[in-house]
Amino acid sequence: MKKIKLVPHKVEYAEQMSQLSSASQVKEALGLSDKQTSLVGTIDFIRFIQDEEKSGKQYSRVIMNEDEKLIGVITLKELDSEKKTSHIGTWIGSPYWGQGYNQLVKAEMLYIAFHHLGLEYVFAGARKVNIRSQKAQIKLPYMSIGVEKEFPKEHRKLENQEGVPCVLNVVRKNHFIDWYENFYSTLF
């Protein structure tokens, strides 16, 4: 059975993280440069995340699988305690695609977002060219798809950050909690 554990970022994970994010499928989907996925770039990213967490702007975790192998990263970014919103970003290394990790890691991080951080909405965007990410989001039963008109400011902000056309989806706290309680009640 697939399992995941979310752990804080440490510089000691930089080499594994760099190797996974350097794969063309991951790097291109995320729009990362060779410099950003290099070992030095990855160490800079880890230090940046650690600083952002200290200031309360992000909550990011390294994803470990059932074999304690680093398989990716998940981040709640642009945390806004007043609006009770955030954006979620996830990447999983290509050797681990299609194995069910995305749903597991999203469920764990969204539980933290809604129960521990007190958020009401978590936005999930994707570049329109990133079909794989869009398909992964559509598979999540608690995800509201195509909310660009409902949240035009968030959509504009996302497209400005990415510099390309994007789709915008959202996870609402009440939808997620209903799904979560239902999902886990069927396991026991």
- Domain of 81 in residue numbering reads as 4-185
Confidence of residue 186 (pLDDT cuts 50, 70, 90): low
| pTM for the structure as a whole | 0.91
CATH code of 75's domain:
3.40.630.30
The total number of structural domains in the chain stands at 1
CA distances from 188 to 6, 45, 107, 179, 180 (A): 23, 39, 17, 15, 13
> For residue range 1-19, what is the model confidence (pLDDT) as tens digits?
789 999 999 999 999 999 9
